[in-house]
Amino acid sequence: MIQAPENETIDDSFDSHCIGPQIFEDSLLAQYIYGSFSPCICIITLVTNILVCVVLCEKSMRSPTNVLLVAMAISDTVTGLWPLPIYLAFYSTSRYNEYIPYEWCNTFFYLTDHLPTIFHTVSIWLTVCLAGQRYLFVCRPTVAKRFCTINKTLKTIAVVYLLSLAFHSLRMAEIMYHPIELSSRVDADANTTACFGTFASIVAFDVVTFYSVHYTVRTILVNLVPCVLLVLFNVVLIHAMNQAAKRRSQLLKQNMRMESKRLEEKNSTTMMLVVVVGIFLLVEIPLAIFLLILVINNSKLKPLISDASIETISLFLNFLILLSYPLNFFIYCLMSRQFRKSFKKLVMCDSYCKKFFGSLNCVNCRRNSYRETEQLKRNGSVKNASECYETATNVVELKSIKCSEKPSGLLTIEQNSVDVV
């Protein structure tokens, strides 16, 4: 994520390495985006990505590709959720006109800048891993069988998290915040405890060089290189899909329908991932270009854009990134038959009902006493519990839903009562 804080010096008595007092971004666009739209999108992202994780963690859905998709869903969700307390505490309650309170200073910059940036970096490189993994499955299947296992995928995810944290950890300690009493921006007769910052010694020796080097390396490693790799992977995968489509048509002519269907399913999965990567690139390429402009702006060359434009563009790009997070769920639903099938089971409680009822053999639902139950058991007049559940028309007391089938075929029934409507 991009953060463009106010860096005004307090007065001439302060050292040139002091920044502040810190204020909220209070433009009209920021008020609407942070106060209204972003919280709603964060909640939508949370709901959709929880559904993605639940569906993809089903036993029948577990695969190296889906492990990466789950990890991406988690990192995307967390990236959006970190700033949510700030949105709700200040922008949704119209408290953004005041200075940032001293007690919120560290929290504010951690939640709006440092932590979202770390998790967004994770999302970027996990997307690269996803595209690379798909390339191996499609173009180098023998290599994929060796390296693209669930266990190795989990290790790759852990490495991505650790490297992202290590890369951005230096910036987490770049500024130390201190309290300062100032006249309130809202009430001229009142005072408020705001905060100003001083650069840590590792930064203070040469602030311009530090930020120039940091943003240059960040732009290259976190934005430009991943975007170039993703474009290359997508081009190769699209070419591979075209080749597969030609091969499929040949198989159909030879009446090899099973092989053709298998190839079609493989192609549809590849197409889905190409779309996911394509949407990702739609928001990441503008971000990479913008960060490149910031690097030039921070150098001794002539600035390309004004500070006001930087704030507006960073606000818009951050919102665009946030807006892209819930889209993957809808892509999976539209383009993956297996995902739709598993999601439908989840929504209809099909798999869970069968797990609870389908494995049980129970007596006919219309019984009023345990004695009748025992009689039906001896007569062998039993039904599957799920069938009983579906045909029940009234509130029936089920005594004995905990059933286990003996090797001899007899039933042992533990008395237990459950009301079914």
pLDDT in tens, 324-346: 999 999 999 999 989 999 998 88
Closest CA to 301 of 313, 293, 309: 293
Least confident of 7-21, 34-48, 270-284: 7-21
pLDDT for the residue 188: 83
pLDDT at 141 over 70: yes
DSSP 303: P
Inside any domain, residue 243: no
Same structural domain for residues 66 and 138? yes
DSSP codes, 92-158: TTT-TTSBPPGGGHHHHHIIIIIHHHHHHHHHHHHHHHHHHHHHHHHH-HHHHHHH--HHHHHHHHH
Write the pLDDT tens digit of every residue in 177-216: 999 999 999 988 899 999 999 998 888 888 888 888 988 9
Inside any domain, residue 100: yes
Q: How far is residue 42's CA from residue 79's CA, in Å, rounded to a whole number?
A: 9
Residue after which a domain boundary falls, among 290, 319, 347: 347
Measured CA angle at 85 (ends 6, 105), to 5 deg: 40
**What global pTM score does this model have?**
0.79
Residue 251: partners with Cβ closer than 8 Å, 6 or more residues away: 257, 259, 260, 263
Provide the number of structural domains found in the chain. 2
Asked if residues 329 and 51 have their Cβ atoms less than 8 Å apart, the reply is: yes
Q: Is 181 helix (H, G, I), strand (E, B) or coil?
A: strand
Sign of the four-CA dihedral 290, 296, 299, 301 = negative
H helix intervals, 299-326:
307-324
Distance between first and last Cα of the chain? 50
Residue range(s) defining the domain that contains residue 410: 352-420
Same structural domain for residues 63 and 150? yes
Inside any domain, residue 230: no
Give me the amino acid identity at 209.
T
Residue 402: partners with Cβ closer than 8 Å, 6 or more residues away: 360, 413, 414, 416
Same structural domain for residues 343 and 380? no
**Of 57 and 306, the one with more pLDDT:** 57
Q: Is 402 helix (H, G, I), strand (E, B) or coil?
A: strand
Looking at every residue in the chain, the average pLDDT score rounds to 81
CA 90 to mean position of chain CA atoms: 24
Average pLDDT over residues 94-100: 91
Inside any domain, residue 283: no
DSSP 255: T
pLDDT at 174 over 80: yes
Residue after which a domain boundary falls, among 316, 347, 378: 347
Q: Which value, in Å, is the radius of gyration of the alpha carbons in the chain?
A: 29
pLDDT for the residue 377: 52
pLDDT at 163 over 50: yes
Inside any domain, residue 258: no
Write the pLDDT tens digit of every residue in 53-84: 999 999 889 999 999 999 999 999 999 999 99
Measured CA angle at 122 (ends 236, 314), to 5 deg: 95
Tokens 């890369």 correspond to 167
Inside any domain, residue 52: yes
